[in-house]
């Protein structure tokens, strides 16, 4: 078993603190006793920090200040960023993305890689903790009093039972699940707990937080400003990710914190069983037929347009059709709704169909989360009335304001929107369909260019005979923290099983939303829609999404 061990050393050896030198010394001992271990220092491109018997990999490019600025801009919080700009850790150094560090380690010749903080003392005892079927290990530290030599017997202060300073990962596993990780900054709030949560949810993970310890940390005063913007960035990312933060804090206060309350260092009698049960709560009987039939895809570039319509969006439909006609090169339009549309646009190439013509589900109340929304997603996937193999789904609140090509050379284009990593979608795909997130970006963009043969291939993949059967099987499994996305599922299925077929492009989108549940919020009018179209028609934006939210 080849093991790559990495740290992020950013200071010359002569400038290291004693505890940091102990880290390096312990790793050299680890290497000397294990011939298949290689040591690496992972640092930024412009750095060239060298330690004896370490290979320097100065390949990091993502810097904390750029990540933070991008995050605030993405969330339209530029003022919040600039008001705290002077707090970027006193501008003393750039901090790296942990995800990028893991990517660099995974690019080395190894079967497993280990990353640890650069003041952690590693014990060779780690290898005794390895198990054949475990893919990832998240490792807590034992805080100890100061020592003068690694030969000293450490005097323990406390066990950090719910913080992690080392991660030992199967390379194959990281490459499979890396898309679920965000760019957390090394050494700042929650990066380790976020990573630990994802490893526990998406891989067979073992938590090492018991005596005898496998890594040690000499207690020392904090050397950074806890009010700096980097902490604000990582804390905000974690706490606004309601899925991960809920999973993590429930776990912490239900299991390891009980040790702290009882003032014991060792796991409680049933702690490991509780951990296993807790993180496996989303496990399901996977719908995955490994011998599924994958259908061929046509070279014909003809496609039809499919528009699912909810009554609240009927006022927008004329504009959706008008601008689709102007900016797309479709053959026919199918408008699908659960009711009779009052003001139909009549045209020989427009067909009005009922939801039941596609997927006849008399009662959707069995669907555990947002039944109408999940049902509409299955309508998009199971649409098969087109004579063409390709069909372009355009939500009835989405107006195209620029010419939109759906092919680049011979490759169909899948458009995706802004940065998001909504983990309930990907956990659902993994636990229900054994489908990993294989894209570095979202698959959601309020439009979707589907191929009927690929959709049928996905159905074959699930082993179900129809989408009606599939919906009945999975609908009741959905919840606020575990649910389906037709766009994420299709995009990642395509990227996995039809690699290099689609070109993925980020669409230039404007989102306008109105919460109609608020009495003071008016519904969209024709003039409102025309004003927004006029406002953005001379910009570089390609689509307008004019949302209306109503329970």
Domains and CATH numbers, the chain: 3-252 (3.90.550), 303-549 (3.90.550)
pLDDT cut 70: percent of the chain above it: 95
pLDDT at 527 over 90: yes
Which of the 8 DSSP states describes residue 402? S
Cα–Cα distances (Å) from 315 to 160, 328, 339, 341, 386, in that order, read 58, 21, 14, 11, 25
Helices (H), 129-285: 171-177, 191-202, 229-240, 242-254, 256-262, 271-279
Question: Confidence band (pLDDT; 50, 70, 90) for 79?
Answer: low
Query: Whole-number mean pLDDT of the chain?
Result: 92
pLDDT digits (tens, 9 = 90+) for 6-25: 999 999 999 999 999 999 99
**Residue found by looking up tokens 């107006």 in the block:** 399
**Residue found by looking up tokens 């990281």 in the block:** 174
pLDDT at 48 over 70: yes
Residue scoring higher pLDDT (173 or 233): 173
Residue 420 CA to residue 172 CA, distance in Å, equals 24
Question: Confidence band (pLDDT; 50, 70, 90) for 85?
Answer: low
Predicted structure pTM score: 0.91
pLDDT at 261 over 80: no
Q: Looking at residue 550, what is its pLDDT?
A: 73
Per-residue pLDDT averaged across 204-231, rounded? Answer: 85
Q: Looking at residue 227, what is its pLDDT?
A: 74
pLDDT at 80 over 60: no
Region of poorest pLDDT, from 107-116, 321-330, 518-527, 535-544? 518-527
Question: Confidence band (pLDDT; 50, 70, 90) for 91?
Answer: very low
Question: Confidence band (pLDDT; 50, 70, 90) for 83?
Answer: low
Residue 444 CA to residue 330 CA, distance in Å, equals 21
DSSP H or E run through 486: helix 486-497
pLDDT digits (tens, 9 = 90+) for 449-478: 999 999 999 999 999 999 999 999 999 999
**Phi–psi pair at 527, nearest 5 degrees:** -65, -40
Per-residue pLDDT averaged across 437-458, rounded? Answer: 96
pLDDT digits (tens, 9 = 90+) for 238-247: 999 999 999 9
pLDDT at 363 over 70: yes
CB 242 within 8 Å of CB 421: no
Q: Looking at residue 144, what is its pLDDT?
A: 94
Structure tokens at 205: 């993970």
Nearest Cα residue to 58 out of 69, 43, 72: 43
Cα–Cα distances (Å) from 148 to 18, 141, 218, in that order, read 9, 19, 11
Structure tokens at 512: 């306008």
Question: Confidence band (pLDDT; 50, 70, 90) for 90?
Answer: very low
**Residue found by looking up tokens 């996995």 in the block:** 496
Helices (H), 299-450: 317-327, 355-358, 371-382, 423-433
Per-residue pLDDT averaged across 110-137, rounded? Answer: 96
364-398 core/surface letters (b: 16 or more CB in 10 A; e: else):
beebbbbbeebbbbbbbbbbeebebbbbbbbbbbb
pLDDT digits (tens, 9 = 90+) for 153-208: 989 888 888 889 999 999 999 999 999 999 999 999 999 999 999 999 999 999 99
| 384 SS3 class | coil
Residue 307 CA to residue 312 CA, distance in Å, equals 14
From start to end of 37-111, where are the E strands? Answer: 37-44, 55-60
Close Cβ partners of 114 (under 8 Å, ≥ 6 residues apart): 3, 4, 5, 6, 122, 126, 166, 167, 168, 169
């Amino acid at each position: 078993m080849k093991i790559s061990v990495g740290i992020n050393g950013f200071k010359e050896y002569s400038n290291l603190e004693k505890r940091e030198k102990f880290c390096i010394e312990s790793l050299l001992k680890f290497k000397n006793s294990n011939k298949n271990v290689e040591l690496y220092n992972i640092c930024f491109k412009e750095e060239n920090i060298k330690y004896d018997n370490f290979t320097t990999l100065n390949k990091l490019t993502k810097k904390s200040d750029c990540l933070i600025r991008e995050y605030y801009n993405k969330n339209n919080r530029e003022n919040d960023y600039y008001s705290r700009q002077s707090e970027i850790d006193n501008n003393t150094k750039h901090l790296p993305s942990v995800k990028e560090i893991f990517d660099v380690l995974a690019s080395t010749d190894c079967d497993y890689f280990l990353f640890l903080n650069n003041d952690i003392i590693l014990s060779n005892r780690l290898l005794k903790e390895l198990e054949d079927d475990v893919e990832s290990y998240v490792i807590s530290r034992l805080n100890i009093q100061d020592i003068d030599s690694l030969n000293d017997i450490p005097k323990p202060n406390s066990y950090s039972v719910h913080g992690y300073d080392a991660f030992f990962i199967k390379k194959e596993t990281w490459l499979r699940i890396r898309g679920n990780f965000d760019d957390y900054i090394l050494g700042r709030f929650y990066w380790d707990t976020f990573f630990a949560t994802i490893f526990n949810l998406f891989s067979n993970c073992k938590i090492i937080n018991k005596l005898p310890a496998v890594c040690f940390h000499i207690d020392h005063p904090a050397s950074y400003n806890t009010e700096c913007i980097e902490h604000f960035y990582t804390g905000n990312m974690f706490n606004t990710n309601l899925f991960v933060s809920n999973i993590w804090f429930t776990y912490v206060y239900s299991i390891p914190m009980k040790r702290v309350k009882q003032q014991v260092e060792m796991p409680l009698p049933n702690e490991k069983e509780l951990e296993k049960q807790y993180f496996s709560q989303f496990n399901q009987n996977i719908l995955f037929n490994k011998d599924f039939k994958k259908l061929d895809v046509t070279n014909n570039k003809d496609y039809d347009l499919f528009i699912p319509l909810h009554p609240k969006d009927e006022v927008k439909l004329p504009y959706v059709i008008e601008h689709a006609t102007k900016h797309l090169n479709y053959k026919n339009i199918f408008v699908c709704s659960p009711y009779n549309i009052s003001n139909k646009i009549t045209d020989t190439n427009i067909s009005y169909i009922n939801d039941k013509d596609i997927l006849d589900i008399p009662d959707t109340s069995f669907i555990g989360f947002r039944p109408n929304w999940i049902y509409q997603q299955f309508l998009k996937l199971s649409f098969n009335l087109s004579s063409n193999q390709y069909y372009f789904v355009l939500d009835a609140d989405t107006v195209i304001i620029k010419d939109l090509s759906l092919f680049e050379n011979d490759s169909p284009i899948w458009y995706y929107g802004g940065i998001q990593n909504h983990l309930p979608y990907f956990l659902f795909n993994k636990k229900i369909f054994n489908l990993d997130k294989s894209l570095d970006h979202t698959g959601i963009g309020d439009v979707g260019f589907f191929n009927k043969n690929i959709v049928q291939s996905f159905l074959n993949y699930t082993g179900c005979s129809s989408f009606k059967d599939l919906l009945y099987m999975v609908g009741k499994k959905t919840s606020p923290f575990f649910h389906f996305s037709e766009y994420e599922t299709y995009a990642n299925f395509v990227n996995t099983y039809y690699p290099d077929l689609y070109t993925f492009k980020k669409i230039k989108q404007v989102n306008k939303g109105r919460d109609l549940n608020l009495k003071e919020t008016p519904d969209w009018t024709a003039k409102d829609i025309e004003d927004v179209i006029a406002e953005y028609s001379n910009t570089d934006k390609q689509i307008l999404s004019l949302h209306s939210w109503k329970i």
